[in-house]
Structures are given as C-alpha cells and as structure tokens.
Amino acid sequence: MVVPSAAPECRREAAAAAAVFRRRRDGIPTVDMSAPAGRGELSRQLAAAFAGSGFFKAVNHGVAARVPARMDGAAAAFFARPAPEKQLAGPPDPLGYGSRSIGTNGDVGELEYLILHTSPDAVARKAGAIDTTDPHRFSQVVNDYVEAVRQLACQVLDLLGEGLGLRDPTSLSRLITATDNDSLIRINHYPPSCTTTATHQHQERHVGASPRCTAGEPKPGAGTTTIGFGEHTDPQILSILRANDVDGLQVLLPDAAGDHDVSWVPVPPDPSAFFINVGDLLQALTNGRLVSIRHRVVASTGKPRLSTIYFAAPPLHATISALPETVTAAAPRRYRPFTWAEYKKTMYTLRLSHNRLDLFHVGNGVAGVGDDDDDDDQE
C-alpha cells in the first residue's frame, strides 16, 4: 500500500500535527481561522496540520453563510433540470457539464457535475447554457463564491508561508492571484445510491457497475462500497471543498498504530466548514514536506450530496520548482522543475488514481521545463 510520507526534517511538524489531530474526537484536524491564540500560533497549527495529514477542516473562516447557500441554490436548480437541458452545458472538454464519466481515460463515478474556469469572462460564457432564465444572476453567484474562497485560499497560503518560515511568505498566494491564474470551480451532485461498484487501488471489494437506486433493488452487502468519485489527489496547489450535510468524503490516512498501513477515514459532513487540502503542486513546491492527500467520495444512501470545490492553480506558464527553503543537504530536490501547462497535459493522459507527481521525480528521466511549451488554454 502507498503510505503518504513526510520528509525526515518535518517530523517535528508532523508530531505537532498529530497533537492537533488527537484533539479531535472525529480524527479530523481542525483549525480555527479566527486565530483565538494569535496569528503566530495559527500559522504553526496550519503548517502542522498540512505537514501531518495534508488536510484540515477550517472553522470560523469568515465566509458569510449566504455565499455558499446561494451557490448551493443555483447548483441544485441546475441539477434539477431535465437531462437534455443540462447536456447543453456539456460535454466536459474538460470544462462544462458531465455525467458519470470523469476525464477521458475511462474513469466513472456515481455523479453529475459542472466544471468552470473561475475567470468572470469564462463563467459568463458558460452561464447562458446553465441558467437560461437569468444567466447574469448565475454568474454573480459563482463570482461571489469564487471571490470568497480565493480570499480564504490566500489567507491559508500566506499563513502557511509564515509557518514554513519562507523569506517571502506571500510567494505562494501570489501564484493563485496572478490575473491569468488557471483556477477552477467544480460542483458535484451525487444522487442517492443503493448498489455496489468498485475498481480502485485501495478498494476493499471489486463489484460490477451500478445504476441509481430504484425501489426493490438489493441494499449493499457488508464490505462493499459504491464509488461516487474514485480515489485521487488533486493536481493544483490547494483545494477548498464545501458540501451539504451528506456524508461520503473519505481521506486516506496512516493508521494510528504507526505500522505504515493506511486506511480510509470518513470525514463527517459540516456545511458550515471548509475542508482544505494540499494539491500536487504544493507538494512539489514544498519539496515533499507537505503531501497531497488521496481522497474519494463513496455514495451515500438517502440524500443527494452536493459539493463545491475550488481548485487554486497558478497561470499555465508558471514554473513549479521547490522553494529554496525546502531544499537542504538532508532533503535534496525531489522533483524537477516543470510548468503547470506541462503537468496538466500529462495529467489529462492519466487515470484519476494515478500518482502523477511520481513522473516528475528527479531521476525519472522525463523531459525538463521548456521542452514542452504547449500552453493551450482549456476553452
């Protein structure tokens, strides 16, 4: 099994993270963004949570509840429309509306979704197909949501920069605020399900494909898991997830016994919180000190799950290279420099569960930065 590993020099942060971790009864590291113990303590906590598990739950984050509530309302209205109307906003190329099929390499899940580029122009271009009655209102709702989560992402990255002791603590947030940043919003809708599917690396059982739940169908047997969204890491810098009160999200964490084994830990839903995880690019930027956490969504019976994820990404031409402070004699450079365009091009050729950052490990013998200047945009 793959064990998310931290470099030796960050064992101290990992131990501190474990302390944050233990304090929570549900096992989910939680950070109070209102900084009750001061900014220094907040940045230490946040860096420790990220180094220990690549993931934390942000509470008291300052985003007004009406912002995600409006986003949920607009998303629910879209997903309630008849299938032929929703398909006018697709197929995902990779932006747009999609159903069941994830990417172009054979991955499937029990969900439908919308993927949007976060630039207001790109949102406006898609809005007409998503909300035929009031596209301007839809754009406004998405733009307000993006603005709120972008601010939260910047706050997290600046605190992380301070926690890591970077000479320029704002260098991470500047990557995602550049005018030509390539950040995305994804809205996932998981209908309630009652049968079994599974074909993934860390899966317990492998069973056939499943349609939606219908009356009289058998309920899942013990030990089976219906996959809503298969296991993967997020490729970008940082992901900020918010969902309704329906469970399903799971993260792959090392077992408490410290026996190098891992297990899927359910993340209890909390619509008032944001769940924030390290992406592949942040793992590369920190030379592997922070680890991009594997996660998945298992289908839930009863209620539909609605989630919105903001993927904070740099411009396509940005070069991703380990921050100098993270490269030492004891922790030599792990990944060769690459551009986000190059990483993206590679990722779209791979399955969801692939460990794509491994391909950029030094010594892997693949082409270096500048060898591929194909900066094609997504639209």
Catalog residues that contact ligand AKG under the rule CB under 6 A.
186, 188, 229, 234, 241, 243, 249, 295, 297, 307, 309
Nearer to Fe ion, 72 or 234 (CB): 234
Query: Residue 253 CB, nearest distance to ligand AKG (Å)?
Result: 15
Nearer to ligand AKG, 268 or 370 (CB): 268
Query: Residue 309 CB, nearest distance to ligand AKG (Å)?
Result: 5
- Closest among 372, 227, 234 to 291, alpha carbons compared: 234
For ligand L4NPZUNZ, the binding residues (CB under 6 A) are 94, 102-103, 105, 107, 115, 184, 186, 232, 234-235, 311, 347-348, 350-352
Q: How far apart are CA 32 and CA 23, in angstroms?
A: 13
For Fe ion, the binding residues (CB under 5 A) are 234
Residue nearest to ligand AKG (CB): 307
Integer angstrom CA distances of residue 102 from 24, 95, 111, 168:
33, 11, 9, 37
Query: Residue 245 CB, nearest distance to ligand AKG (Å)?
Result: 13
Q: How far apart are CA 219 and CA 16, in angstroms?
A: 42
Residue nearest to ligand L4NPZUNZ (CB): 103
Nearer to ligand AKG, 326 or 346 (CB): 346
Query: Residue 219 CB, nearest distance to Fe ion (Å)?
Result: 27
If contact means CB under 5 to 8 A according to the sort of partner, which of ligand AKG, Fe ion, ligand L4NPZUNZ, none does residue 188 touch?
ligand AKG
Q: Structure tokens of 97?
A: 């509306």
Asked if residues 169 and 158 have their Cβ atoms less than 8 Å apart, the reply is yes
* 3-class DSSP state of 185: strand
Alpha helices, H only, 216-357: 280-285, 340-347
Q: How far apart are CA 61 and CA 230, in angstroms?
A: 28
Give the chain's radius of gyration (CA, Å): 20
If contact means CB under 5 to 8 A according to the sort of partner, which of Fe ion, ligand L4NPZUNZ, ligand AKG, none does residue 243 touch?
ligand AKG
If contact means CB under 5 to 8 A according to the sort of partner, which of ligand AKG, Fe ion, ligand L4NPZUNZ, none does residue 115 touch?
ligand L4NPZUNZ
Most distant CA atoms of the chain, gap in Å: 63
- Residue 219's region, left for phi above 0, alpha for psi from -120 to 50, else beta, is beta
Query: Residue 373 CB, nearest distance to Fe ion (Å)?
Result: 28
- Closest among 152, 160, 149 to 184, alpha carbons compared: 149
Q: How far apart are CA 342 and CA 308, in angstroms?
A: 26
Q: How many alpha carbons fall within 13 Å on the CB side of residue 53?
A: 32
Integer angstrom CA distances of residue 96 from 88, 187, 200:
9, 10, 25
Nearer to ligand AKG, 20 or 115 (CB): 115
Query: Residue 135 CB, nearest distance to Fe ion (Å)?
Result: 28
Nearer to ligand L4NPZUNZ, 243 or 352 (CB): 352
Query: Residue 43 CB, nearest distance to ligand AKG (Å)?
Result: 26
Nearer to Fe ion, 162 or 234 (CB): 234
Nearer to ligand AKG, 16 or 113 (CB): 113
